[in-house]
Chain A
Amino acid sequence: MASGGSTSGVAAVSVSGLTVVRGTVTAIDAISFDVPSGQVTGLLGPSGCGKSTLMRAIVGVQIVASGDVTVLGAPAGSPGLRARVGYVTQAPSIYLDLTVRGNLRYFATILGAADDAVEQALDDVDLRGEADRLVGQLSGGQRTRVSLASALLGSPDLLVLDEPTVGLDPVLRRDLWALFHRLADAGTTLLVSSHVMDEASRCDRLLLMRDGHLLADATPTELLARTGRSDIESAFLSLVEGGAT
C-alpha cells in the first residue's frame, strides 16, 4: 500500500504558494505541494490546522488570498471540474427529510450520473438495507456514509473527503479504506483528511499540516525513515518540535 519512492505520473492537484485568510486569521500560509493521481493521499493534522480550508480551496469553494490551485489541469472551481470533483464535507451535507435513495437520486440527476449509479453507491457504502429510510432517522455514521455515497455518484476523477471515517466502527472504517484503494486502483485520485494519526499508514502519501503550514509531504515510509521514529504520531511530534523536514 505505502510503497516508497517518488510520485509517478501527472499531478491531479497542484498547489503553489496558496494563502487563505479567514477573517483576521491566516488559515493557510503559502503552501505548495502536488497530489499524485491514482493514489490515496492523506491530509493529516490536528483539528483547526487548516485541513478543511485547504480542501475547500482545492474544490474551489473557498475565496483565496493568493496562490494557484490547479485541479486536473484546470484552475480549481472551473465549471468543467464540477462534474469531475467529488467533495464530502465534514458535517454530512444531505437532506434529513429525504430517504437515503431520495438523496442519492436527486444528486445523481444534478450530476447527470448513470441510472445504476445510485444502486452502485448504496452498495459501496453498505447502505442498501437503509435505502428507504429517512436520513433524519439514521445514526451519525450512517449519515456520513450517505454523504460519501452522494459524492461517488458521478464517478469523479478526484475525490476530496474531509474526515470521512470519523465516528465509524472499525469494521466499517476498514471497509471504507478498502473502497478508497479500490477506487484509486481504478484511477481515481483521493485526498482524505483525518486528525487520527493511525490512519496515516493506510495512505499512499501523506501531507502533515499544523497551524496553516505544511510540515511534511512524503510517503509514510519516507517520513518514518526521515524522522527515525516508528509511528506517524511520534514522527509528527518530532517534526513539530523542530526536527528535520
Chain B
Amino acid sequence: MTGRRTLATARRVLEQLRHDPRTIGLIVVVPTALMALLAWILTDADFHKYGPPLLGIFPMLVMFLVTSVATLRERTSGTLERLLSMPMGKGDFVFGYSVAFSILAVIQALVVAGVSFLLLGLDVRGSAWLVVLVAVVDGLTGTALGLFVSAFAQTEFQAVQFMPVALIPQLLLCGLIVPTDELPRVLEWISWLLPLTYAFNAMQHVAMNPTPDTRFWIDLGVVAAMAIALLAAGAGTLRRRTP
C-alpha cells in the first residue's frame, strides 16, 4: 500500500462522482429531506429526542448504499480485477474509496446539520460541531460496512438487499426504539457488538450534555475503530485470484 496509489484512487472516485452530479445531489439531499420530514411529523419534544440520533443514522444509510453499489460495480466491470493485476495494494483500493467518501460525508454532514439547526429548529445541549463530527464518523462507518458487504453480493440487486440485513437490525437494537439496558439480555450483548449502538450513544450524549465527557470520546472512538476494522476486513475480502 502506498499513499500515492491510495490518493490517486480517492481522486479517481471523486472525479467519477463529479461526472454524476445527480448522485452527489442525492447523497446530500436525501438525508436532509428525511430530517425535514421528521421535523414535520414529530412534535417539537419528539423532534429534539429523535432528531439528533437520526441525523447520525441517515448519512450512514445513504453512504452504505452508495459505497456497496460503487464497489460492486468495480467487481462486475472488471476494473477491480485489472487493478489487482497491477501493482495495486488491496488497502490502496479500500482506503482510497474511504478517503473519497469521507470527503463526501463531511459535505453531507455539514449540509444536513446546517439545515437541521438553522432551518428546522433542531437544538442540542452540546456543540453543533460535535453533531457534525459524529455524523461524519457515522457516514464513514456506513462506507466501511458497504465496502465489506459488497464482497458478498454478486449483483446490484443483492447489494441493495443487504441494507435490511446489515442496517435494520442495528437500528432496532441501537437504543433508539428500546433503551439497550431494557432489551432481553442476549440482545443487549449483541447490541454492544454493533457500531450503531455506540454511534447512537455518542449522539445522545451531545444532545443531552453541554460538554462531552470521556464516555463520549470512548463511544466515538469505538465507532471509528469498528469502521477501520471493517475497512481492513473489506480489504481482506479482495482476491487477486478468482475461480
- A: which residues have CB within 8 A of B? 22-23, 59-63, 77, 79, 82-83, 85, 87, 89, 91-98, 102, 106-107, 109-112, 134, 150
Contact = CB atoms under 8 A, between A and B. Distances in A.
B88 interface: yes
A95 B79 contact: yes
B185 to A, nearest CB: 44
Interface of B is mostly: helix
The A contact surface, by secondary structure, is: loop
Contact of A110 (B19, B20, B77, B88): B88
Contact of B16 (A22, A98, A107, A109): A98
Given A61-B241, A111-B86, A93 B12 contact: no
A95 to B, nearest CB: 6
Contacts of B15: 98, 102
B240 A60 contact: yes
Interface residues of B, number: 26
B156 interface: no
Contacts, number: 79
A75 to B, nearest CB: 12
A107 B80 CA distance: 12
Contacts of B84: 61
A114 B87 CA distance: 15
Nearest to A153: B86
B158 interface: no
Contacts of A107: 82, 86
Contacts of A111: 86-87
Interface string B1-22: 0001100110110011001100
Contacts of A109: 4-5, 8
